[in-house]
Amino acid sequence: MAYSDKVIHHYEHPRNVGNFGTQADVKTRRDIGVGLVGAPECGDVMQLQIKVNQSTGVIEDAKFKCFGCGSAIASSSLATEWLKGKTLDEGAAIKNTQIVEELSLPPVKIHCSVLAEDAIKSAIADYKAKNGIAADATPAVAP
């Protein structure tokens, strides 16, 4: 399959790879929100971690790791770029269709962008739950 230059660029130079600690560490850190979506048997797992300034509610840093195809890696890499500097609400407003457009994903790869949106929502929901912030109108996890 021929990928767009943007997908290839993200794949070859993924942004913000990593995490803010082991699975056990991040579970206890209240400034970190973790989203882990997908399943190994489906061929895609995305882990997205956001580091939030607890007084301003701004996402100061974001890291990802991804088991998946080139577009899954590119989608999650792009998500970390977009999240940095956004408030939680702005982050939660990112839509998979924006990712599809930015990366020119073909129809067969749209599920990668959906997974990235899920990861964003799930990381924000995790942060909110840890900090006792009620989940607002935005659903935590896409249906």
* Residues binding other proteins: number (CB under 8 A): 36
Task: Give, as ranges, the residues between 85 and 114 that touch other proteins (CB under 8 A).
Answer: 108, 111, 114
Can you tell me the distance from the alpha carbon of 111 to that of 62, in angstroms, rounded to the nearest whole number?
A: 21
Query: Quick one: residue 21, left, alpha or beta (phi over 0 = left, psi -120 to 50 = alpha)?
Result: left
Site membership for other proteins, residue 129 (CB under 8 A): no
> Are 100 and 107 within 8 A, CB to CB?
no
The DSSP string of 20-88 is: SS-HHHHHH-TTEEEEEEEEGGGTEEEEEEEEE-TTT-BEEEEEEEEES-HHHHHHHHHHHHHHTT-BH
d(CA 86, CA 26): 21
68 binds other proteins (CB under 8 A): yes
Q: Would residue 69 show up in a list of annotated catalytic residues for this protein?
A: no
Q: Which of 30, 42, 60, 142 is catalytic?
A: 42
66 is catalytic: no
41 touches other proteins (CB under 8 A): yes
Which residue's CB is nearer to other proteins, number 22 or number 56? 22
Tell whether residue 3 is a contact of other proteins (CB under 8 A): yes
**126 lines the binding site for other proteins (CB under 8 A):** no
- Of the candidates 4, 6, 15, 19, which one interacts with other proteins according to CB under 8 A? 19
Dist. CA 139–CA 14, nearest whole Å: 28
Catalytic residue among 112, 115, 119, 125: 112
Active-site residues, by number, are: 42, 112
Residues that bind other proteins (CB under 8 A): 3, 8, 11, 14, 17, 19, 22-24, 36-47, 65-70, 72-73, 108, 111, 114-115, 118, 122, 141
